[in-house]
Amino acid sequence: MNFCGPYDKQLAKQKPPSVVTPLLAGWEFWQKPVLSADKANLMALIKTQEWAMTKSVRDEIEKDIWAVVVTDLNQTIQYVNARFEEMTGYGRHEVLGKRPAMLQGELTSPKVRQRIRDALKQQKSVREQLLNYRKDQTTYLCQVRIKPIFNRQKQLINFIAFEQKISLDERNP
């Protein structure tokens, strides 16, 4: 017989059941919801890096509609979520330790890339649309919002990018 917890084992010893039914109202169901491994990894990174979370970054993370990429100051990828893997075809293990530039190719606008570099150098947020390449080398148009992340001592420690594939109809003229 399967039990949900120690309370159920005590009850079973006192009175053996005549019909086996699962327990549906034990205290074990009042636990906090379990974070997905994906979100747990991000929360661990946030905690260890001591991010000073802004409301806008917290809101974007909570929306759970973005492909998320976190890089260090050298733009080395430290974290990607499942949406990133779906959008690009790259597995997490294939991109950690690499740079987001691996997603760009000959059709990616050099002007857009330069505007992104300039904003990051100035520690400012940037919003752009750029053409990226999936693992299978097919292209997709991507809306990207990159924000600098500071720790509690107000030191720049990471960049976080929120990315979403967009259709040609949604692009800026």
Instruction: State the CATH number of the domain containing residue 45.
Output: 3.30.450.20
* Domain annotation covers residue 173: no
Domain of residue 43, residue span: 37-167
What are the strands, taking DSSP E only, across the chain?
A: 67-71, 77-80, 126-133, 139-150, 156-166
Residue that the structure tokens 């097919």 belong to: 138
Q: Please state, as a whole number, how many other Cβ atoms lie within 10 Å of the Cβ of residue 40.
A: 11
* Domain annotation covers residue 96: yes
* Domain annotation covers residue 29: no
CA 160 to chain centre: 9
- pLDDT truncated to tens, each residue of the chain (173 aa)? 455 556 556 656 665 555 554 555 554 444 444 444 567 788 887 888 788 888 888 888 888 789 999 999 999 999 999 999 999 999 999 999 999 999 999 999 999 999 999 999 999 999 999 999 999 999 999 999 999 999 989 999 999 999 999 986 555 54
* Domain annotation covers residue 16: no
* Domain annotation covers residue 97: yes
Q: How many domains does the chain have?
A: 1
* Domain annotation covers residue 103: yes
